[in-house]
Chain A
Amino acid sequence: MNEQTLFELLQQQGVSRRGFLKYCTALTSLMALPASMIPTVAHALESARRPSVIWLSFQECTGCAESLLRSHSPTIEGLIFDHISLDYQHTLQAAAGDAAEHAREQAIKDNYGKYLVVVDGSIPLADPGYSTIAGMSNLDMLNETLTGAAAVIAVGTCSAYGGLPQADPNPTGAVSVSSLVKDKPVINVPGCPPIPTVITGVLAHYLTFGSIPELDSLGRPKVFYGQSIHDRCYRRPFYDKGLFAETFDDEGAKKGWCLYRLGCKGPMTYNACATLKWNQQTSWPVESGHGCLGCSEPDFWDAGSFYNALSIPDGDYTRAAGYAVATGVVLGAAVGFTNQKTKATAAAQHTNVTVDDFSLNKKNK
């Protein structure tokens, strides 16, 4: 089914050599590789085979799939999607019912050991009934599908880190893919949703090189998540100059000053928004005047208000301080009165030194 190489497929479609080079150029840029890598990419793609992809959707909102599938059509993302074999995506195939499930089983069998599994959404462990597909629990489906997978791509913060379903108090016992999968490579592509070009960039990397890209400590590809929003932000000079917007409509906001005080989580967030931007590179949250929410980081729903500066503690510290004052006063008073008592006792027991105490015949007294 997927025996044709990508190059042969493009040739069949009447794509010229220049067209192929153009495709490679776009792909190289998409993978955030230096332009000097274009010949390497071209060479690799000449013999690359279309990978089979099985897409599993668990506890999710379909926002991640929307991000990808609705990314203003046929851009490079579309091109990539033409060149993988998406064999199962139950949201898109819901109408196919049972046949879709057979397609998944067939894909596992045909491409055993070679196919990619894409997961969006977290997996509920509290009760499998919280999320099932075709009568199968998410956990069972994940385990069954993973048996012959080459690698798993956890698309979106829910599958990468638990995301919204896992937010306190986590009623469904939601967990991430990486907390369940220990024997296969897991690539986390977090974001709520992730940037579509990042999703396809990771797929493109696998398509081109047949390997997974270099990952950071949280399992994210370094090419896209290697730098923080803050480091790549065009408003960074204002942070350094100490110029900050203090409300969303003050003079600073209009002049495009730094949004740190309005709760921007850019300093702790690793993502490619500042470079790749959104909606065909039109803009990105900070450019449209709103701070970064930190959506590609673990626990971002539990990290306090989106509008609190990063340096502000987010526990109930007023209460803690209140209790502390009360405790302090009580203990302080207790210690104070004990000291007074010690002092009074000492004073009461005090006897004046008389000249007799120094007399030579003291011993005889």
Chain B
Amino acid sequence: MELFSNANDFLLWTRGDAFNIAIGIFIVGSIIRVLEIFLLGRKHDFSEPRGTEWGPGLKNIISRSAVDSGTFKRAPFVVVVGYIWHICFFIVLLFFVPHIELIHATLGLKWPGIPSQFVDASTVIAMAALLAMLWHRLTHPVLKFLSTYEDYLVWLVTFLPLLTGYIAFHRMIDPYPMALGLHILSVELLLIVFPFTKLMHAITLFIARWYTGAMMGRKGIES
């Protein structure tokens, strides 16, 4: 390791310059993607509105999180494992105290954490869910045919933060600054890749769901 004189140097770099670069790319990329969508615009709708837009739009953002029975019947595995993955991932991301400290320091928001055993268990379940989904992708002929390198890249950059976080928490790499540095670096990798891949869905889903709900609302249709 010639770039860094020791593990602490590496950790300092991940917490300093590397974080600045990653957060910079993440913000620039995300804003470009979002502006691109909004600036494309929509033709003015001259029809008489039959309902409101905001209420149904916001409602749709939430209601579309519920399981759709048709989708469930077609792909129960994807739905169940997908839910497990997302729930466990958000438990780990939002309720591990060191993560809350990070959010508090960067965004000023704060909420109580949970005991680390629960976070630990959620990490294991989330990793298992991701592995199951990779297995599913590789064994399902249609899914495998449709998969591109981007799908695997996205899988990898999502899996690495969990794996390195688990390793750091259990101190499986010595010294610890190296383990923590690798974890932070893997998250930075995720931030950099985020705006330019389908990971962007974490932001665009709100726009898409709101738009669908708002359109339906305007037309007076239950969405």
Q: Size band of the A side of the interface?
A: 35 or more
Question: With A268-B8, A311-B101, A324-B23 in contact, is A228–B32 under 8 Å at CB?
Answer: no
CA of A304 to CA of B15, assembled, Å:
9
- Contact segment of B61-69, B134-142, B145-153, B172-180: B172-180
Question: Measured between alpha carbons, how far is A343 from B39 in the docked complex, in Å?
Answer: 11
Say whether B164 faces chain A, with CB atoms less than 8 Å apart.
no
Does A310 belong to the interface (CB within 8 Å)? yes
Rounded to whole angstroms, the CA-CA distance of A260 and B27 in the bound complex is 29
Could you tell me the distance in whole angstroms from the C-beta of A162 to the nearest C-beta in chain B? Answer: 10
B39 touches A241 (CB 8 A): no
A321 contacts B115, C-beta separation under 8 Å: no
The answer to the question of A358 belonging to the interface, with a C-beta cut-off of 8 Å to chain B, is no
Contact for B27 among A217, A328, A335, A343, CB less than 8 A: A328
Cα-based distance from A340 to B36 in the complex (angstroms): 9
List chain B residues, Cβ under 8 A from A336.
Answer: 35-36, 38-40
Chain A residues with Cβ below 8 Å from B121 are none
- A263: nearest residue on chain B (CB-CB)? B101
B117 CB within 8 Å of chain A: yes
Identify B24's interface contact among A297, A300, A320, CB under 8 A.
A320
Q: Interface residues of B toward A: which range?
A: 35 or more
Q: Does B98 belong to the interface (CB within 8 Å)?
A: yes
In the complex, besides A217-B6, A309-B102, A324-B27, 6 extra interface pairs with C-beta distance below 8 angstroms are A216-B175, A314-B16, A320-B24, A329-B35, A332-B36, A340-B40
Name A residues whose Cβ lies closer than 8 Å to a Cβ of B.
216-218, 228, 230-231, 239-242, 244, 260-261, 267-268, 270, 297-300, 302-304, 308-317, 320-321, 323-325, 327-329, 331-333, 335-337, 339-340, 343
Residue with the greatest number of chain A CB neighbours at <10 A, chosen from B16, B106, B117:
B16
Asked if A270 and B175 sit within 8 Å, CB to CB, the answer is yes
> Is B34 an interface residue, CB under 8 A from the partner?
yes
Is B30 an interface position by the 8 A CB rule? yes
User: How far apart sit A316 and B16, CA to CA, in the bound complex (Å)?
Assistant: 8
15 interchain pairs (CB within 8 A)? A239-B116, A240-B115, A270-B176, A297-B8, A315-B17, A317-B106, A320-B23, A327-B28, A328-B35, A332-B36, A332-B39, A335-B32, A335-B39, A336-B38, A340-B39
